[in-house]
Structures are given as structure tokens and as C-alpha cells.
Chains A and B, each alone.
Chain A
């Protein structure tokens, strides 16, 4: 038996935990139905983010949605947050089951 899958896109955003609330509000407003957040650590152009205290904590948000929705969100984040916040975001194609959820 072959599994019935459909294509969707994962939007991954790695950014400062300081703006978590704002991003979640934006996602909701744009119609995203679900997301996953984990605490993250790492190093980049903004220095080492050790997560030792709130000011240096990062989060990683993942959203599975349609390609169109993912691009809309990414464009919005690019315009609003890329200049002033540590943020990396990218898209990946994935295959999912239960397409009505995404």
C-alpha cells in the first residue's frame, strides 16, 4: 500500500525570543492555523545566542502550510523584522498526510 501524501511547505523562522508574541499575532492574523515553537541556541552575525537569559534567547518557529501562505508570511516578516532583528527564515517542501489540517 502506498501512503496518500500531499505537498505542503514548511516555513522555519529562527529569531529572537523577544518578538515571539508579535510573530504569533502576525501568524494568526495572516490565517496560519498551527505552529510549533522550540527554544534555540546558536551563533550568527548577531553574536552567540546562548539562551542564558531572555535577552540572548532564540526561538525556532515551524509552520506547515500551503506554498502561497508560506511565501506571504515570509514576505511580511522580511519587510517588518529583517532590518532590526536577528532572523533567519527559509522554506522547504514536505509531504504530509491529513491535508485538511494544513
Chain B
């Protein structure tokens, strides 16, 4: 069974590749992003209201270490095997150490469609895994120098639109609880799939625009864009096992680890490491890794999670 949201993605991709007139207004794409982030946050927050928060802290530490580790591995691979310059390698590594909300939304939707449960704190993992990779990426280029304006960068990454909406939605969901959220459910929960489908249509269009760069640096971008998420997915599964997550939780953590950022990190890296070529990272993330994860990756991570947990389908 192929998910309808994936079909929307393929429609956008095909429309873009044949250069159709298909186009969504930029403000709609923005609005859908806000909707998805709030919706994911609310759901996570609602789940958190039912459990103690203190035991979560070591888990958050573990997924942050995971993000740092992924960035360092990606940097090493790109420097040694990919022969990229320091700035390009560090910038791209930061993209792969960080996470993608769209991939997370597709993964969560994939699990929900199949009635597979996952832990509510995965939404917090999404928020905290965005930041460490950015910091590591900058240190890899600049070292720990006085020139870097850490305050401004911290502000940019911690209070960027994504993290603010996600954590804000989570705080609202946690404070309001299931009863408080009930009136909002028709909008934020029931419409989630429809909004995700429209969003994926635009993602297909965005991905179709990466073909030029892929034609030029195809071998490096495609091989790294597929190998890195597989490697990160395995690390994510290991981390999930360590944290004692359910099969759904392990699948989603692997999906998060395998995903690569295409909103927060490009914007921050553009400012912090302007000499890195932004189209290189975006082509790999959007042109290869994003489609790979949503079409092939998620089912593979789920299968692996079941093997690890000793569950038979």
C-alpha cells in the first residue's frame, strides 16, 4: 500500500520535471509549514502531559550526542571520500547531522496509518536534534574563534521559526492537556493529512528543481545522499534500542536521524559559513536524501526496528 501523501509528492515531482505550470503560492507553503509544526508540537505536548518529564532529560542528552556524532561522521566521509573543501564538507555535514520536519511528518503519518504507536517525546527529539549539528558544523570550519558571534547564532538557531513553533505548540499541548485541546482537534489533528498532502505536493516541486546540480556533481551527491541516511538510520536504531523505545519509536528516531535539514540549517549556514556552496547541500538533501527516506528509508527502518526488537510482522 502506497500512502496518498507520497502520491502527492510524486505528482509535484513529475509536474516539476515536465515543467508544468503547477505552482503553489509561497504564502501557502509558509502557512502549511506553520500548521505542520504546531500540529506536531501539540500532539507531542499532549502526550507529554501524561508522563513525568525528568526521566526524559537523559534521553534528550542521548539524541543530542547522536546529532553531534552524525555530523562528525558526515564531515569525515565528505573530506576523505568526497574530497570536498573544509567549508563545503562542514556545511553539508551540519545539514545531515540536523533533522527534517517534513521527513518526520511523513514518518509519523506512515506509523499512524498503520496503527503503530510511538512515544510522544519524539517531537521533542525533533526540536533538540536541530541545534547541535549547526554548532558542530560551525566549529569544524572556524574552530572555537572569537570572531564567531555565538550569541547571534544561538539566537538564530534556538529561536528560529521551526524550533519556536514546535516547542511553543508542545508547551500549549502540555499546558492545555487533552481536554483543553479537544476543541482544536478538528483543525489541527483531523486536517493534518490533508495539509501534509498539499505540503508534499510543493516538496515534490522543490525537489524537481535540484536536477541541475545533480547532473553536475551526481556521483558524489547521490552516493552520499543515500549512504549517509542509511548509516544515520542505523545509529538512530541503536540509540532507540539503548533508550528502550517501542518499535514505532525506534522507527521514528531512525527516520529523524536519517533525515537532513533543508530549512533551518541552510539559512544558518548561509550566514555562518557563507563561503560554502549552498546549492551543493540542498541538492543532496532535497534531490536525494529526502525522496530516498520517504520512499525507501522509512519502511526499511521499520523492518530493521522489528528485527532488533525481535518482533515478527
- A residues lining the B interface (CB < 8 Å): 16, 18-19, 22, 47, 50-55, 83-85
Contact = CB atoms under 8 A, between A and B. Distances in A.
A50 B263 contact: no
B26 A52 contact: yes
A22 B271 contact: yes
Given A18-B270, A47-B212, A52 B279 contact: no
B206 interface: yes
A84 B271 CA distance: 10
B253 to A, nearest CB: 27
A50 B206 CA distance: 10
A16 B270 contact: yes
Interface string B17-55: 000000000100100000000000000000000000000
Given A50-B209, A51-B26, A85 B274 contact: yes
A84 B275 contact: yes
Contacts of A84: 274-275
B274 to A, nearest CB: 4
B112 interface: no
Interface in B184-220: 202, 205-206, 209, 212
B282 interface: yes
A52 B205 contact: yes
B266 interface: yes
B29 A52 contact: yes
A83 B87 CA distance: 14
Contacts of A55: 262-263, 266-267, 270, 278, 282
A85 B212 CA distance: 20
A54 B278 CA distance: 12
Given A47-B212, A47-B279, A53 B271 contact: no
Contacts of A53: 26, 29, 206, 263
Contacts of A22: 271
B231 to A, nearest CB: 25
Contacts of A19: 270-271
Interface in B41-82: none
Given A55-B262, A83-B274, 7 more contacts: A18-B270, A19-B271, A47-B279, A52-B26, A52-B209, A55-B270, A55-B278
